[in-house]
Structure 1
Amino acid sequence: MNWYLLYTASRAEKLVEQRLKAEGVETYLPLHLSPRRWSDRVALVELPLFSSYIFVRTTDEILRGLVRVNGVLRIIFYNARPAIIKPTEIDSIKLFIEKAKGKICTFGLNDEVQIACGPLKNIDGTVTKVGKEYIILQIAQIGIFVSVKLNQVVKIER
């Protein structure tokens, strides 16, 4: 038996996991806590680490039949074969989830951060303002201020 990856309908990962378990299939859906804001409150919600993906441990023959499960859109392939996920990779994801559990990254004024994606990837900046979804960074290297989404920056630990 190997670990495989299934692509699910948008926001259906938890339901698909329940349906697969009901069929007797071993699944792994890595979840993390993320703050969500409503008009009257902020709550921590469990969200999938990888949107629209779920790991399954099964045989190749059973895997092919899982596309009939409601919410499963397709099997992820690599080189014209179902992609096999190494058990060490699954263990690494579990270790990451365990280490990150309960930790929330917050940004404060004058924190040093690095932009993790986009056209300014790997550029360092200093936080000058923190908003609900964006922060304003001063990029000293090129003398500008930029607005970046909170989930696109990483705090630099020195």
Structure 2
Amino acid sequence: MLGEAFSQSNTDPKLVKKWYALYTHAKWEKKVASIFTRKNIENYCPLNKVLRQWSDRKKIVYEPLFTCYVFARITDKERISVLQTDGVLNYVSWQGKPAVIRDTEIEVIKKFLLEYSNVKLERLDIDVNDIVRVKCGLFMEQEGTVMEVLGKTVRISLPSLGYYMTAEIPKSHLEVVNNNARDAC
């Protein structure tokens, strides 16, 4: 047990893999993900299942959820070589540094896209309000920040990306853990 703690604390931070969001050329998200896969770079290009209507037919297509974004799970040593990949423009930055995306946020995106199709993505422009816990369903026991509630629509915050996803979750499936608006009074 002591050996485990010792070996974990000695891990070189430059060898720890972290998720980063990368800007790509327009319409290059799938191509960049494919190039990363060929280079054995762990990546994720979230694809949204969308029903498209043409004049003669309907078809389900898979479009990138985040336009011009691909996620790569890499070490600090790999950061420069990833930038040199065709189609990659730069890292998504937060406070002047490449934004590190938490593993849990990548997992939330994956679960969200498995559960819902035709997901809408909106830029996050509001402050944090109530902390809630989901009582049942896919996100059972998960706590999150309510960004806005309109009828049954709840917006789930992904703070390190600056986005939130929208889905319908009945209010009866939520319980307030901490009401920041009331606590401020």
TM range (shorter): 0.5 to 0.7
Q: Which runs of 4+ in 1 moved over 2 A?
A: 153-158
Alignment partners' CA distance in 2, 1:22 and 1:156: 38
Deviation at 1:39, TM superposition (A): 2.6
Partner of 1:68: 84
Return the alpha-carbon distance in structure 2 between the equivalents of residues 44 and 38 of structure 1. Answer: 11
Structure 1 position 55, deviation (Å): 0.7
Letter in 1 for 2:32: V
Deviation at 1:156, TM superposition (A): 9.1
Q: Secondary structure of 1:95's match?
A: helix
Say if 1:29 and 1:79 are closer, same or farther in 2 by CA, change over 3 A. Answer: same
Counterpart for residue 155 of structure 2: none
RMSD across aligned positions (CA): 2.9
Which residue pairs with 1:51 in the alignment?
67
Cα gap change, 1:83/1:155 in structure 2, threshold over 3 Å: closer, same or farther?
closer
Q: Quote the Cα distance in structure 2 between the aligned partners of 1:49 and 1:3.
A: 17
Matched, 1:28 2:44: yes
**TM-score relative to the length of structure 2:** 0.54
For residue 75 of structure 1, what is the amino acid of its counterpart?
Y
When you count helix as a share of all residues, which structure comes out higher?
A: 2
Note the residue ranges of structure 2 that are not aligned, 5 or more in a row: 1-16, 124-147, 152-165, 172-185
Q: Distance in 2 between matches of 1:90 and 1:23?
A: 21
Number of paired residues? 115
Q: Secondary structure at the match of 2:55?
A: coil
- Of 73-82 and 49-58, the range deviating more from structure 2: 73-82
Please point out which of 24, 28, 46 is paired with 1:12: 28
Aligned to 1:77: 93
Relative to the length of structure 1, the TM-score reads 0.62
1:42 to 55, 58, 63: 58
Secondary structure in structure 1 of the residue aligned to 2:56: coil
Cα distance in 1 between the residues matched to 2:20 and 2:170: 35
SS in structure 2 of the partner of residue 61 of structure 1: helix
Distance in 1 separating the partners of 2:83 and 2:45? 17
Q: Cα distance, 1:38 vs. partner? A: 2.1
